[in-house]
Homo-oligomer: A and B are copies of this chain.
């Protein structure tokens, strides 16, 4: 990190500022501070409107840079405000959660939710710089740290080899080193560089576990204790791997190895209540159905990930298998 840059405005998640006041104040220097609502609550049109108003009040101009500090949601809305202010001003992102440090802050996706639809409004806009400081993770609640490790695990599955072994054998209560963070980010950056605007399907392997994960995440928003994004992806990942097992394209032992890791980390969480009708409605919000099949990336033997047509019944079957696993 560098404290040398001068910023026109600093935008920071409220929780992060409470915990890291001194560091944030050092980074922002003389830049006025705007505090944002915590987490996903920040990704709403009224918050975006408030940010535009602040950019207007402080007369932020094209030559100036703004500083954005927080988790993935904070960086999403702040990055979108910067991307659209005077047709785009530079911004520096400082991710404060594990998931943002290895995933959300990278790839250039910025935006907000709309009418309960995730990321319906947004652009692809790269920050000028991303400053990663693992120290933030010491104040992250353990469930959020663990949820971040799930995305790390997904990146490690995509990469395979020693990275996969290393993440598998690391406790999800560990604060990763800057070196490990760098290796995990590189998995995403490589895929993003190959397909920056998601036009060629190369980035889609990053959706591993996310098709079903998003359904559980959305369903759980209706409950008293919503799942964290990473917790929902953990469920989705085990279920989607099972589709490959059932097809005979992945060894059951590989799947059981992941299940065992999840069990150790307490990630085999109960599913939010649902009926199959509602489950299907949420599934199809996200994905298009063609001839009763939807397309998602499947992890196959040897580590290949292939975009495949999967039937609704295959997905239902894998959910039933998951239910038996946790019963």
- A-side interface residues toward B, CB under 8 Å? 45, 49, 52-53, 56, 61, 83-88, 109, 111, 114-115, 117, 119-124, 197-198, 288
Contact = CB atoms under 8 A, between A and B. Distances in A.
A286 to B, nearest CB: 11
Given A45-B49, A49-B45, A87 B114 contact: no
A68 B213 CA distance: 36
Contacts of A115: 53, 56
7 contacts: A52-B114, A52-B120, A56-B115, A87-B109, A87-B119, A87-B197, A87-B198
A53 B83 CA distance: 21
B122 A84 contact: yes
A324 to B, nearest CB: 35
Contacts of A114: 52, 56
A111 B124 contact: no
A114 to B, nearest CB: 6
Contacts of A197: 87-88
Contacts of A85: 120-121
Nearest to A83: B123
